[in-house]
Amino acid sequence: MTKPLRIALAGLGTVGGGVIRLIDANNALIARRAGRPIEIVAISARDRAKDRGVDLSRFAWVDDTTALAHHDDADVVVELIGGSDGPALALARSTLAAGKGFVTANKAMIAHHGLELARAAEKAGAALKFEAAVAGGIPVIKGLREGAAANEIARVYGILNGTCNFILSKMEAEGRDFAEVLAEAQALGFAESDPTFDIDGIDAAHKLSILSSIAFGTQPAFGDVVASGIRHVIAADIAEAAALGYRIRLLGIAEDSPHGLFQRVHPHLVPVSHPLAHVTGATNAVVAEGNFVGRLLFQGAGAGDGPTASAVVADLIDIARGEFGPAFAMPADALASHAPADSGDRRARAYVRFTVTDKVGVLAEIAAAMRDAGVSIESLIQRGAMPDGSVLVAIVTHEGPERSVAQALEKLRGSQSLVGQPMWMHILS
């Protein structure tokens, strides 16, 4: 047994505690698999006094988190502080500049600063790994970077936010509305007290930009991801989708096309025959479509201390084995820079649900707007009045450019017939 891989750990929240517990529990097994032990030697967190349920006295305590980068006994720094900038980014920069390996679960930081950090890692010949940043315990970065590496990827997409999937599948199972289920998810600890990052699709967009970079060999470009969340999905949308043979899931999708690279996070209608339609609860799942391998699916727990710790320690095992290379699957300078594609060029089938007043001519007005914008309607369902007297009209379009749907909705903007905003969702092909 050669000398241990020595870890300095920054951040002792849920995941940090999980990493310590995992290394304690599976220590001998990890040493057999990695070829040498993995040992935590130093730790740092905001509050030294807090009881975290694990014995911390055996580790050196470092008050200044950034100083972990220069802790002489450590080979690798594990960053579990979070936040795209601030102490996490400072620690990443100093660790890599010091030529040490850096492992993180920080999706926001990698989405925003991944390219800079990858360059720094290459310059120093150090490892930069972030499996835990996307889809928790699921080895999907490895799956793309290595498992599917022989393929040109046409699309990578999936359920990247467990909170949203928990809420949507609960709405689906119980026929309840968004706000009610969100409140329950918050009470159960499945959703944050400020749930914006999750439910507005920002968390999923961070993850998507990372997957996209690895799949397509492009520079991570979080700013190019168009994102909307699940706030405006109502129980009736789920019921209409079900009647049409679909389930609603918040999907992140990155897709190569003649128009460029589309990167987007939106609620989608997923055909019940598709495996993602059967992913319920806080589970995550990612699909990659390769030109030789076809459709690959990776599924598992997308969050939680155990799964996230599993991904962090998998990265450490790779480093202990010496099995690591460029973070984004190819050298940073080989990553292409892309102008984002215009969503309007994307061709797809769409679901649009209008909430309208119950009066003569409303349907004609909607149909005319669709016709004038060149949108071809595949099916339309109108249901009797809701408790407040309004009526739902759900439309599924034939495949066409998204620009046309946007134009139709623009024509209808401000119409006295509409109650609130129409809900537009894409249909997964």
Binding mask 155-174 for a copy of itself (x = CB under 8 A): --------------------
119 touches a copy of itself (CB under 8 A): no
183 touches a copy of itself (CB under 8 A): no
Q: Which of 35, 82, 99, 400 binds a copy of itself (CB under 8 A)?
A: 35
Of residues 350 through 389, those in contact with a copy of itself by CB under 8 A are none
Q: Which of 318, 341, 404, 412 binds a copy of itself (CB under 8 A)?
A: 318
Query: Is 14 a known ligand-binding residue?
Result: yes
332 touches a copy of itself (CB under 8 A): no
What percent of the chain is helix, strand and coil (3-state, nearest 5)? 40, 25, 35
Residue nearer to a copy of itself on the CB measure, 124 or 386? 124
Length of the chain, please?
429
206 touches a copy of itself (CB under 8 A): no
Q: How many CA atoms lie within 13 A of 40 on its CB side?
A: 30
Residue with tokens 């998810």: 185
* Alpha-carbon distances, residue 178 vs 167, 172, 175, 201, 320 (angstroms): 7, 10, 10, 15, 45
Question: Would you please indicate which residues are annotated as catalytic (active-site) residues?
Answer: 207
Q: The sheet that has 5-10: what strands, in order across it?
A: 60-61, 38-44, 5-10, 76-79, 101-104, 128-129
Q: What angle separates helix 162-174 from helix 178-188, to the nearest 10 degrees?
A: 120
18 touches a copy of itself (CB under 8 A): yes
The identity of residue 334, as a single letter, is A
Residue nearer to a copy of itself on the CB measure, 64 or 152? 152
CA distance 74 to 102: 11
Binding mask 240-279 for a copy of itself (x = CB under 8 A): -----------------------------------x--x-
CA distance 291 to 388: 50
The alpha carbon of residue 322 and the mean position of all alpha carbons in its chain are separated, in whole angstroms, by 28
Q: Which residues are annotated as a binding site?
A: 10-17, 107, 192
- Binding stretches for a copy of itself (CB under 8 A): 18, 22, 25-26, 29-30, 32-35, 131, 137-139, 142-143, 146-152, 217, 275, 278, 285, 290-301, 304, 306-307, 309-314, 316-318, 321-326, 329-331, 334
